[in-house]
Amino acid sequence: FDEVMIVHGALGMRDRSAACIMTPIADVFSLSADAVLDEYTMERIHLKGYSRIPVHAPDNRRRIVGLLLVTNLVRYNPKSCKRVRDFTLDPARAVHSSTNCLSILKMFRQGVYHMVLVSDSRRNPHQAIGILTREDAVEELIGEEILDE
Ligand code: ADP
């Protein structure tokens, strides 16, 4: 990548917030904790192709209770019709929507997280308005879309 572009992207990171680079909750592919992992749902998961799926409370699409890792489903047989909540979910960490992109990039560099929730409520951080992955933060830094591997 062109160094000038990277420096330009880096300088702007402090002025932009999580809300600018998140994937809005309406566009997030999530599953209810109650959802049955039958053949139909498994096919939807594979067609989407995401590696992490936010899991929401049955009565509220915005209340994210954990993250389902698709790698945990590789040996799963859809005929057993388990529910999402029968799997061990990864805890979902939340950041406030005003957090700047530089802090977010640092957090992804330090932590083991790949995906965080974005919330505009400090009292209720698991009420998500969006999600963010490491890739969203890195794309912001280098100023262009990463062609997916
Ligand atoms: P993956 O490894 O699943 O492809 P990435 O971390 O590479 O995910 O993210 C690629 C883009 O897809 C990012 O913009 C991210 O916000 C978005 N994304 C990741 N998971 C989901 C999901 N479950 N629903 C909607 N968008 C998602």
Per-residue tens of pLDDT for the chain, all 149 residues: 677 777 777 788 888 999 999 999 999 999 999 999 999 999 999 999 999 999 999 999 999 999 999 999 999 999 998 999 999 999 999 999 999 999 999 999 888 789 999 999 989 989 999 999 999 998 888 765 555 54
pLDDT at 138: 87
User: Which residue's CA lies nearest to atom 3 of ligand 1?
Assistant: 50
CA 76 to centroid of ligand 1, rounded, Å: 22
User: Which residue's CA lies nearest to atom 7 of ligand 1?
Assistant: 135
pLDDT at 148: 54
pLDDT at 17: 94
- Which residues make Cβ contacts (< 8 Å) with residue 86, sequence separation at least 6? none
DSSP calls for 60-108: EEEEEEEEEEGGGGTT--GGG--BGGGSPPBPPEEEETT-BHHHHHHHH
CA 17, CA 7: separation in Å to the nearest integer? 18
CA 146 to centroid of ligand 1, rounded, Å: 12
Check if 63 has its Cβ closer than 6 Å to any atom of ligand 1: no
pTM across the whole model: 0.91
pLDDT at 85: 96
pLDDT at 113: 86
CA 135 to centroid of ligand 1, rounded, Å: 8
CA 25, CA 129: separation in Å to the nearest integer? 5
Check if 133 has its Cβ closer than 6 Å to any atom of ligand 1: yes
Residue pair 148/50 in contact by the 8 Å Cβ criterion: no
Check if 53 has its Cβ closer than 6 Å to any atom of ligand 1: yes
CA 129 to centroid of ligand 1, rounded, Å: 15
